[in-house]
Amino acid sequence: MPITTGCMPPGVHAYPEELVDFIFEHWSDPHFLERLRAAGIDTAFTLPDRAVLERIVSTCYQASLLREEARQVMFRLIVHPPELLPDDAGPPTGLHRLLFSRPRPFNEYELHRLAPAAEFYRSLIGVTLDRGKVAQIWGVVHSGTRWMQAVYGGRKTFPPLPPCLVIYVAGPGHISVCIGSELLASLNSGQINCPSQDIFTASWLSESFVTVRAEMRELHEAARAKAGKPWAILDQDFGRTLAQQVVRRIISLVRNSRHGGILVYLPQEMEEDALAESRFLSIKYRFRAGEPRERFRTLMLSIMNTFAEIHGDPGNPGKVIGWQEYVTTRNETIALLDEAIFDLAHFIASLSAIDGAVVMTKRQELLGFGGVISGDTERVETVIHALDGEGNLTEEELSEGVGTRHRAAYRLCHEVHDAIVIVISQDGNVRLVTWRNGAVTYWDQAPTGVPEF
């Protein structure tokens, strides 16, 4: 049965066998393998035999359909020999492995019993294959929660998983197959999804915020000139990375609310138009102009300035610092600023609980919430579905098969070409919409199978 990336034919449902077939078929796809290499995965990694992988995935699938005292079964599973994990490590910066005195059988009932103890966000169930390639449960790996940083943003470092098979069971029939922390493919509601390039790394998206970053850099350099002492030099990507982490957190929180929402980023020149009830957009709850509305920018600049100041070195005026130094710093002021900016992300996400869009400028100025995209704008009959991060591989489709949020996003981007709209559905799907190459274009962020805080 032909299966395309992130899409199934209408009325056709996939099951564990099709998920495994999908993975093996794509294992020889150069684009698929390039994505893994870009994520640091050694593509010389050998998958288990097809029959073995199918048994493992099928058993996890069956376990996901069971219930534990009215709770759905959720767990993470790592297929890795225990002797290859360290004896003396543990969270928050390592993996803590604990072996059972004797292996347990690998079946859906044993997984069902272990799932509450091997709590999804903090632990993994350890599995290995014996000489006959039969799976056995050898124990539990305590990982801590920092691994979720990759999903919802943040600066804390987390222990990398070894390059081995890892499976997430996030609910009934919701299975994700990974190598280490890198998702290969997921099965949810009978649909197979395979992530494309991370949209946040796309060059077109970076270019759409280049004026904003240049403005922030100019403000930072002005503060440096007034400091009277040497500051370290910030890596060119530092501000972009920090802003992206905050946006990831906002999206994650809205997804986790299961209410859905819309985030609208308007070009700065449309600020007054948006607040004056334009024909494109009206905002029910508008914020007055002033510093509180610009808190995101204020915190960003404070972080940039403080970070450069505390790493200043008179003996090395050309010292360059970036994201890696930021995530490892223990400076108390940086910690407070980091907490403040992520608290702001929580606040912005909470505004999406009200029907309508949360509206910001690309300068991250919070204009208001409860935004309604006008239905009087021109209807968009067809849109372009981008199948890669840069939008070079695309397909045209009708717009009628989506909900009101998506159609509203299409209309706004058709009218305001510099706008970016992020639509989060109740089921956790995320779609980024903008105008690109002469048409309304969208990118899907497929569900990872990872429930979020």
Tokens for 397, please give them.
Answer: 């489709």
Reported as a pLDDT band with limits 50, 70 and 90, residue 1 is very low
Reported as a pLDDT band with limits 50, 70 and 90, residue 10 is very low
Task: Give the C-alpha separation, 77 to 56, whole Å.
Answer: 10
Strand partners, 136: 105, 128
Task: Give the C-alpha separation, 76 to 63, whole Å.
Answer: 12
pLDDT (mean) for 89-106: 89
Q: What is the pTM of this model?
A: 0.71
DSSP 3-state assignment of 152? helix
- Say if residue 157's pLDDT is above 70: no
Lowest mean pLDDT among 53-57, 242-246, 420-424: 242-246
Contact (Cβ atoms closer than 8 angstroms) between residue 258 and residue 426: yes
Strand partners, 442: 385, 433
Cβ-based neighbours of 255, under 8 Å, separated by 6 or more: 424, 428, 430, 452
Lowest mean pLDDT among 8-12, 295-299, 410-414: 8-12
Give the pLDDT score at 195.
64
Span 168-187, pLDDT tens digits: 998 899 899 988 888 888 88
Give the pLDDT score at 375.
67
Contact (Cβ atoms closer than 8 angstroms) between residue 299 and residue 430: no
Task: Give the C-alpha separation, 153 to 171, whole Å.
Answer: 23
At 129, give phi and psi (nearest 5°). -105, 130
Give the pLDDT score at 4.
38
Give the pLDDT score at 5.
43
- Say if residue 320's pLDDT is above 80: yes
Tokens for 61, please give them.
Answer: 């699938």
Span 137-148, pLDDT tens digits: 999 999 887 777
Task: Give the C-alpha separation, 307 to 337, whole Å.
Answer: 10
User: What domains are there in the chain, each with its CATH number?
Assistant: 16-193 (no CATH), 199-445 (3.40.1700.10)
More confident position, 4 or 382: 382
Task: Give the C-alpha separation, 184 to 32, whole Å.
Answer: 9
Which DSSP letter does residue 232 get? P
The residue type of 51 is A
Contact (Cβ atoms closer than 8 angstroms) between residue 421 and residue 265: yes
Which element (helix H / strand E) includes 367?
strand 366-373
At 256, give phi and psi (nearest 5°). -70, -25
Give the pLDDT score at 278.
66
Span 286-301, pLDDT tens digits: 998 889 999 999 999 9
- Say if residue 272's pLDDT is above 70: no
Helix ranges, 65-155 (H): 108-114, 149-152
